[in-house]
Amino acid sequence: MSTSIKFEQVRKDYDKNTVISNLNVMIKPGELFTLLGPSGCGKTTLLRMIAGFHSIDGGTISFDDQSINDIPAHKRNIGMVFQNYAIFPHMTVYNNVKYGLKNRKISKQEMIKRLDEIIETVQITAYKDRLPNRLSGGQQQRVALARAIVIHPKVLLMDEPLSNLDAKLRIDMRRAISEIQRSIGITTVYVTHDQEEALAISDRIAVMKDGFIQQVGYPDTIYLRPFNAFVATFIGHSNLFTGTVEKENGTTYVHLTKDYRVAIDTLTEEAQAEASVMIAVRPEEFTLSEDHTGIRATVKHRNFLGKYINYELVLDDGRSIEFTQDTNLKNRFIEVGEVVHLEAIPEKINVFTADGETSLIAGVTRYVE
């Protein structure tokens, strides 16, 4: 029933600059697939290429193995939800939702049935006869969603749909979107720059930068096993260290600093002895050492954030790192000015080649199907 989307060697040019080149990825039927990246990474461009608002300048995009390259936007049968909702201000909520259906050859009864259904599903019954200018952002968002889904499109495209909502509403709508998407099982491409939103809502995520896909994976793989240093630092925060690999008596170590190394057994064969590497340690992947082993650091700032405490510490060489600690009453909270030693949790930390481009952790790949 649901449609798959395949990108083969897709290219996009703006004037003479190539902004996306040789992009290959396959979106599975019924999947909620998120394009995540900083602004200017090409995620919206890619979405608009699927929609038909941008030309495809090379390669092929296919729905179910059928190229859509030459199909004009209005014949692609896609549903799109826009960042600013794009609700037609001159039509009531009901007529907004009906607009796309009116254009299709379906019977009147079928139309009314579908409209009633969708209006019920997205919960806009109460204000279906209002004009859009009297709706809140969240309500407009629901109308936009209903309008896009009611035409039974092959794929649903969502362009930063939650970015104009306030924090609490964003979480509510996130769940609503996720539930509706799952219940009708429509293949969805979702664009956002908000990593938390992406992690929460997606089946799979493609992290993009400079028109290239950095990694495709499940939310947990992306967070726990980033494929490169960019993903490690863009999703959540990672403290980066440059160090070397050391092999001694069959045990492999990585040096985070000159005086501190951790034994690690997750590296691939490619990580050879004496090779320089980049090591990424998340703030929560440190523990406080009680016996003066580990990285020596001085506490500079302490931010109490409720669920956890975030510390900014300064190393002896002047660099800053971040460390977070659960606000578990068993934990000893440290004070500004205190000198502490931090140890990294070996199974959790990530190791990359020295340029930060490729993970050296066994089993980590750029694309996860």
Residue closer to other proteins (CB basis): 128 or 302: 128
Is residue 161 a contact residue for other proteins (CB under 8 A)? no
Is residue 29 a contact residue for other proteins (CB under 8 A)? no
Residue closer to other proteins (CB basis): 60 or 77: 77
Distances (CA, A) of 28 to 1, 32, 51: 12, 9, 17
The minimum distance between CB 128 and other proteins, in angstroms, equals 18
Q: Where are the beta strands (DSSP E) in 131-290?
A: 155-159, 187-192, 204-209, 212-217, 239-248, 251-255, 261-263, 276-281, 286-288
The minimum distance between CB 157 and other proteins, in angstroms, equals 8
Is residue 14 a contact residue for other proteins (CB under 8 A)? no
Which of 199, 326, 343, 338 shows the shortest CA–CA distance to 281?
343
Judged by CB under 8 A, the chain residues 201 through 260 that form the site for other proteins are none
The minimum distance between CB 86 and other proteins, in angstroms, equals 4
Total residues interacting with other proteins, rule: CB under 8 A = 29
> What are the tokens at 255?
């040096």
Residue closer to other proteins (CB basis): 90 or 108: 90
Residue closer to other proteins (CB basis): 102 or 258: 102
The minimum distance between CB 243 and other proteins, in angstroms, equals 48
Q: How far apart are CA 97 and CA 345, in angstroms?
A: 52
The minimum distance between CB 88 and other proteins, in angstroms, equals 6
C-beta separation of 241 from 279 below 8 A: yes
Count of other CB atoms within 10 angstroms of residue 136? 12
Q: How far apart are CA 296 and CA 257, in angstroms?
A: 10
Residue closer to other proteins (CB basis): 156 or 278: 156
Residue closer to other proteins (CB basis): 70 or 220: 70
Instruction: Say what angle helices 93-102 and 108-121 make with each other, to 10 degrees.
Output: 130
Q: How far apart are CA 200 and CA 198, in angstroms?
A: 5
- In degrees and rounded to multiples of 5, residue 352 shows phi and psi of -120, 165
The minimum distance between CB 104 and other proteins, in angstroms, equals 7
The amino acid sitting at 59 is: G
> What are the tokens at 142?
């629901």
Q: Where are the beta strands (DSSP E) in 212-255?
A: 212-217, 239-248, 251-255
The minimum distance between CB 135 and other proteins, in angstroms, equals 16
The minimum distance between CB 28 and other proteins, in angstroms, equals 22
Helix (H) or strand (E) holding 351: strand 350-353
Judged by CB under 8 A, the chain residues 42 through 101 that form the site for other proteins are 51-53, 70, 72-80, 82-84, 86, 88-90, 99-100
Residue closer to other proteins (CB basis): 72 or 306: 72
Give the CA dihedral 369, 279, 197, 215, nearest 10 degrees.
-30
Helix (H) or strand (E) holding 167: helix 167-184
Is residue 189 a contact residue for other proteins (CB under 8 A)? no
Is residue 337 a contact residue for other proteins (CB under 8 A)? no
Binding residue (CB under 8 A) for other proteins from 32, 151, 231, 297 = 151
The minimum distance between CB 224 and other proteins, in angstroms, equals 36
Binding residue (CB under 8 A) for other proteins from 148, 199, 254, 342 = 148
Residue closer to other proteins (CB basis): 74 or 330: 74
Show the binding pattern over residues 98-137: x = contacts other proteins (CB under 8 A), - = does not. Answer: -xx--xx---------------------------------
Instruction: Say what angle helices 108-121 and 137-149 make with each other, to 10 degrees.
Output: 140
Which residues of this protein are in contact with other proteins, per CB under 8 A? Answer: 51-53, 70, 72-80, 82-84, 86, 88-90, 99-100, 103-104, 144, 147-148, 151, 157
